Amino acid sequence: MTDQKNIRISAQLMRDWARKCLEQAGAASELAKAMAENLVAADLMGFRTHGLMRLRYNLNCLQDGSSRSNGEIKVLSKRAAVQLWDADLLSGLYVMPKAVEAAMAMARHCGTGTVVVKRAQHVAALAVYLEQATEQGMLVQMMCATPGQQVVAPFGAKSAWFSPNPFAIGAPTHGQPILFDVSLSMTAAGKVRKAIAEQQPLPYPALITADGNYTTDATTFLADPASVLAPLGGEQLGYKGTGLCLFSELWTMGLSQLGRYQEQAGLDANTVWVQVVDPSAFGDLDEFKNQAQAMVDGIHATTPINKQQPVRVPGEGAFKVRQQQLQQGIEYTAALWRQLEKIAQQTGIQLPAN
């Protein structure tokens, strides 16, 4: 590919290709299948920074041993409604569906089920794991932290303490589920890197420079000393984002007992809190869906600020993108496609023709 035209290609072909690449890098068959599936699932939903853009990273991790190519997950402790797992550097793309499954089984007995997973390599987009629960009529909440990464400042600081903290929920309705997946900082590191690559400023001041100023200048993220991400709420309300980041890190790193106390700098595996709630423990599932659907309908019925932009419910954008890409193929930028072609050359596994 030398031109700049985007590529359209079937999700199934890309899944198969990615799986073969991951297998060649050493991943056991079941592992490679889950990794490929969940990376492509992120592309399908429009979470581009967590899709095949990260295939190279996953291949590298398998090859240098920072992601295990096979093996078992260890259950370190359990009670009726909770389990602590050590993924022992297996990919989160493979471990997370198992954690959701185990949480659902506990929720059926206890009303809620929680799995805290430590040392899961590259969990990618939390959004892709939510429907596994909502399709079974369950609510799910996920939080993810990275013990070895510190890029988000607490409120009032110009140096970082928190890791990026994605937060996600899913809930069933009578129609498509409510799906929500965001970072608890003002922006994510991936978006800053994208802005740098595209030589664009950020759309709003989400970085705090070493001088203590909020800035839209993405290049400050590469300066020395570097700028840091502001917590959600920003200059006025960043104490709210700080508390939400603490919620994430206490419930993940704290409960898993693997975090900053150990001072294991450089450990970039993820720690994840997965909790499933079974609404049928509280009453009739259909009654829950009535309430959830009333929220969807009510939000749609609010008055938009801009008549051209109807008010949306979280998840609707992702469903729309997925529906379109399932019909027309996933759209990859020419730049990403060139990266994938390099992988194809290195592995000798030919990319599918578009």
The kind and range of the H/E element at 167 are strand 166-171
Number of residues assigned to the chain = 354
Site string for a copy of itself, 205-224 (x = CB under 8 A): ---x---x------------
Residue 352 CA, distance from chain mean position: 26
- Interface with a copy of itself in residues 12-51 (CB under 8 A): none
C-alpha span between 37 and 15 (Å, rounded): 6
Cβ-contact 45, 322 below 8 angstroms: yes
Range 272-301, binding a copy of itself (CB under 8 A): 275, 277-279, 281-284, 287-288, 290-295, 298-299
- Which C-beta is closer to a copy of itself: that of 57 or that of 214? 214
Angle at 352 between CA 351 and CA 354, to 5 degrees: 120
Distance from C-alpha of 128 to C-alpha of 40, rounded to nearest angstrom: 10
Using CB under 8 A, which of 65, 71, 156, 175 touches a copy of itself? 156
Please say which residue, 120 or 232, places its beta carbon nearer to a copy of itself: 232
Q: Which of 196, 98, 128 is nearest to 207 (CA)?
A: 196
Look at residue 347 and give its three-state secondary structure.
helix
Tell me whether residue 182 or residue 189 sits nearer to a copy of itself (CB atom). 182
Contact letters (x/-) for a copy of itself, 55-94, by CB under 8 A? ---------------------xxxxxxx-x----------
Residues 307-346 that bind a copy of itself (CB under 8 A): 309-314
Rounded to a whole number of angstroms, the minimum distance from the CB of residue 173 to a copy of itself is 10
CB of 271 to a copy of itself, least distance (A): 11
- Using the rule CB under 8 A, give the single segment among 15-23, 42-50, 92-100, 238-246 that binds a copy of itself: 238-246
List Cβ neighbours of 16 (8 Å cut-off, separation of 6 or more): 36, 352
**What secondary structure does DSSP assign to 230-297, as a single string?**
PBTTHHHHHHHHHHHHHHHHIIIIIHHT-SGGGT-TT---EEEEEEEE-GGGTS-HHHHHHHHHHHHH
The residue within the footprint of a copy of itself, chosen from 233, 318, 325, 337 (CB under 8 A), is 233
Q: Does 306 bind a copy of itself (CB under 8 A)?
A: yes
Q: Which is nearer to a copy of itself, 67 or 165 (CB)?
A: 165
- Contacts with a copy of itself in 124-143 (CB under 8 A)? 139, 141
